[in-house]
Amino acid sequence: MKNVLITGSARGIGAQTAKLFAAEGYNVIVNYNTSENEAAETCREISLSGGNSVMIKADVSKRSEAEHLFSEARKEFGPIDVLVNNAGVAQIKLFTDITDEDYDRMFDCNVRSVFNCCQLALPDMIHKKNGRIINVSSMWGITGASCEVHYSASKAAVIGLTKALAREVAPSGITVNAVAPGVIDTPMNSGFDKETMEALKEETPVGRIGTPEDVARAILFLADEKSSFITGQTLGIDGAFI
């Protein structure tokens, strides 16, 4: 049985990804930072469906906490076969109003967390000559978003990290890919009012807002052995928005 660690998997895309991997027979490490109740509910649903999971608290932007996460995960299930770097934050703000604290938090949560977890997962993957890493970026990391400059820049950095790391670890049988979700019905977008969401829906050519399951299924595909020749890629899941 393979083991998957999904950062930020208490709710939204992460939670749906956790449940989907569990349904496919994976042992699932549900990572959370502040959303303890939601993480417990995700694990409860996995258990009710006959799956195996454990919830572990860690702010993966902090190296010591990320190390604790991987140590506890290994004690519970063994080495990580699939790493999904999903943890992240967003913020809408005029560029001229972004503070040093805003910038640092954005890059810590969205980029340093990916750096930390990739470094911690790779030794076991390299030893086994096999592994899958899937990083969650955003369509705004590809095209950029007004009033989300620091967010767009951080997600673009995730894509750059993905492409470079994929080349470096490919000889070790490890693939590294990214997904770039569009407008998805998640708590991260809950701050938008109904009119804004309707406008975004109209801008999406397929005529609907994406679901967490849309993204989760793409992540599961990239984790599968059938996708072993796909690496260094960014898969857009945006209904042709860009």
What pLDDT digit, counting tens, does each position of 54-91 carry?
999 999 999 999 999 999 999 999 999 999 999 999 99
192 against 22, higher pLDDT: 22
What pLDDT digit, counting tens, does each position of 175-231 carry?
999 999 999 988 777 667 778 788 888 889 999 999 999 999 999 999 999 999 999
- Is the model's pTM score more than 0.85? yes
Q: Considering 26, 32, 103, 151, which one is annotated as catalytic?
A: 151
Burial label for 93, CB within 10 Å (0-12, 13-18, 19+), is middle
With beta carbons less than 8 A apart as the criterion, state whether 218 and 235 touch.
Answer: yes
Report the percent of the chain where pLDDT is more than 70.
99
Catalytic residue check, 32: no
Give me 170's structure tokens.
């490919």
pLDDT at 196: 79
pLDDT at 191: 66
What pLDDT digit, counting tens, does each position of 51-61 carry?
999 999 999 99
pLDDT at 190: 65
Q: CB-side exposure of 74: number of CA atoms within 13 Å?
A: 12
pLDDT at 227: 97
